């Protein structure tokens, strides 16, 4: 039973968040929302332990589609970074701000970039593309993410400062158009650089939060040096070019790890 501790812990963490927010905000939505996400994540980890090949993808689809279709399109919550700025500026501590706080700002201190591996609706689509393992060396254009981050902030600030009306409706269209652009650029870059996760590596502005916070992550893949025979198979399958055999927090591309466990599956010596 010990091997099922991780899905149980994840479920307990999400249920604690669900119940706390439900009681403090007196809104059943939070109980439903975080219970659903917690169950989806725990199910994925449980299936992974049972060695089901598509475990991570199931969680990714369950959470990604829920966020994109239900929260984004049906409930009109802009869950993109612009939505985060918008709700932050209006002082409304609602779904989008709570989502960012849990999944992308404070959560990564515990589960690193688990969001990127198990929940993001952009990667949910990109992971269907053929280049699961990058076929070209990493490019030196990661600075684009900071430009995107500033653009999103300037865009929402300009809306507030100019005093335009119907910002809610603008935010909904920004969510829709932003997602279409993200998918378009993500798919283009995946084929251009022969790397499904090129968008994550160079463009995504959310990594400006995710990278520094996941540096301190409690959950991380570690290498047992006594078992490792330096065969390099782990690095060959990594979609994010992480030097996973180095246990230091400063390891190469360490803050890029999406906890997909491909390296763990590939290791012939059970060293990870
Ligand atoms: S880096 Fe951005 S696009 Fe990629 S999985 Fe993470 S949040 Fe999604
Ligand atoms: S293959 Fe391993 S090191 Fe690379 S992203 Fe996945 S879990 Fe992290
Ligand atoms: S696959 Fe395993 S044995 Fe090979 S280098 Fe990686 S950790 Fe070491």
At 192 the pLDDT is 96
> In this structure, how many other beta carbons lie within 10 angstroms of the beta carbon of residue 161?
9
Return the higher-pLDDT residue of 210 and 78.
210
At 210 the pLDDT is 95
CA 261 – CA 238 distance, rounded (Å): 9
Average pLDDT of the chain, as a whole number: 91
How close is the Cα of 245 to the center of ligand 3, in Å?
A: 7
How close is the Cα of 48 to the center of ligand 2, in Å?
A: 14
pLDDT band at 1 (very low <50, low <70, confident <90, very high): low
Closest CA to ligand 1's atom 4: 200
- Find the angle CA(64)-CA(26)-CA(68) to the nearest 5 degrees: 15
Query: Is a pLDDT exceeding 90 seen at residue 6?
Result: no
Q: Are residues 99 and 210 in the same domain?
A: yes
Which ligand does the CA of 125 lie closest to? 1
- Give the pLDDT mean for 79-107: 81
Q: Which residue do the tokens 């466990």 mark?
A: 261
Query: Is a pLDDT exceeding 80 seen at residue 94?
Result: no
At 123 the pLDDT is 96
How close is the Cα of 164 to the center of ligand 1, in Å?
A: 30
Testing ligand 3's pocket by substitution, the residue of 133, 222, 223, 225 carrying the most ligand atoms inside 8 A of its CB is 223
Q: Concatenated DSSP letters for 25-77?
A: HT-HHHHHHHHHHHHHHHHHHHHHHTT-TTHHHHHHHHHHHIIIIIIIIIS--
Quote the radius of gyration of the chain (alpha carbons, Å).
19
Q: Are residues 153 and 178 in the same domain?
A: yes
How close is the Cα of 233 to the center of ligand 3, in Å?
A: 6
Closest CA to ligand 3's atom 8: 228
Q: What is the pLDDT of residues 120-159, one digit of tens each?
A: 999 999 999 999 999 999 999 999 999 999 999 999 999 8
Give a yes or no: residue 138 inside a domain: yes
CA 195 – CA 72 distance, rounded (Å): 27
Closest-lying ligand 1 atom to the alpha carbon of residue 104: 7
Which ligand does the CA of 241 lie closest to? 2
Q: Is 102 in the pocket of ligand 1 (CB under 6 A)?
A: no
Q: Is 123 in the pocket of ligand 1 (CB under 6 A)?
A: yes
pLDDT band at 172 (very low <50, low <70, confident <90, very high): confident
Q: Model pTM?
A: 0.90
Q: Are residues 225 and 201 in the same domain?
A: no
Domain endpoint, select from 164, 195, 214: 214
Closest-lying ligand 2 atom to the alpha carbon of residue 261: 7
How close is the Cα of 262 to the center of ligand 2, in Å?
A: 6
Query: Is a pLDDT exceeding 90 seen at residue 223?
Result: yes
Q: Is 236 in the pocket of ligand 3 (CB under 6 A)?
A: no
- Give the pLDDT mean for 83-102: 79
Give the percent of the chain with pLDDT over 70.
99
At 79 the pLDDT is 80
CA 144 – CA 128 distance, rounded (Å): 24
At 26 the pLDDT is 87
Query: Is a pLDDT exceeding 90 seen at residue 58?
Result: yes
End-to-end CA distance of the chain: 20
Domain count, the chain: 2
CATH number at residue 240: 3.30.70.20
Q: Are residues 86 and 181 in the same domain?
A: yes
Look at 106-115, 178-187, 193-202 and tell me which has the smallest mean pLDDT: 106-115
At 267 the pLDDT is 96
Closest CA to ligand 1's atom 6: 116
Q: What tokens appear for 77 in the block?
A: 């919550």
Domain endpoint, select from 166, 199, 214: 214
The range of the structural domain enclosing residue 240 comes to 220-272
Q: Are residues 129 and 251 in the same domain?
A: no
At 263 the pLDDT is 96
Closest CA to ligand 3's atom 6: 234
Query: Is a pLDDT exceeding 90 seen at residue 249?
Result: yes
Q: Are residues 145 and 178 in the same domain?
A: yes
Query: Is a pLDDT exceeding 80 seen at residue 91?
Result: no
Give a yes or no: residue 225 inside a domain: yes
- Give the pLDDT mean for 59-69: 93
Give a yes or no: residue 206 inside a domain: yes
CA 184 – CA 179 distance, rounded (Å): 8
């Amino acid at each position: 039973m010990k091997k099922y501790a991780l899905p149980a812990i994840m479920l307990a963490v999400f249920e604690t968040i669900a119940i706390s927010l439900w009681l403090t905000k007196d809104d059943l939505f939070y109980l439903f929302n975080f219970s659903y996400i917690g169950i989806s994540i725990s199910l994925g980890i449980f299936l992974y332990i049972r060695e089901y090949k598509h475990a991570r993808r199931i969680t990714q689809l369950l959470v990604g589609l829920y966020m994109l279709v239900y929260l984004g399109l049906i409930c009109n919550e802009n869950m993109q970074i612009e939505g985060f700025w918008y709700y932050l500026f209006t002082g409304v501590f609602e779904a989008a701000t709570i989502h960012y706080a849990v999944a992308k700002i404070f959560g990564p201190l515990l589960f690193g970039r688990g969001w990127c591996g198990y929940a993001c609706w952009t990667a949910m689509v990109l992971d269907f593309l053929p280049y699961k393992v990058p076929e070209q060396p990493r490019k030196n254009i990661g600075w684009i993410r900071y430009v995107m981050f500033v653009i999103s902030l300037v865009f929402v600030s300009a809306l507030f400062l100019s005093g335009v009306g119907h910002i809610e409706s603008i935010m909904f269209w920004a969510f829709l158009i932003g997602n279409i652009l993200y998918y378009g650029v993500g798919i283009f870059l995946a084929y251009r650089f022969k790397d499904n996760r090129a968008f994550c590596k160079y463009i995504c502005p959310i990594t400006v939060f995710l990278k520094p916070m996941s540096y301190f992550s409690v959950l991380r893949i570690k290498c047992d040096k006594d078992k490792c025979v330096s065969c390099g198979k782990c690095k060959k399958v990594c979609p994010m070019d992480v030097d996973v055999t180095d246990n230091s927090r400063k390891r190469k591309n360490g803050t890029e790890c999406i906890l997909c466990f491909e390296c763990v599956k590939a290791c012939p010596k059970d060293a990870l």
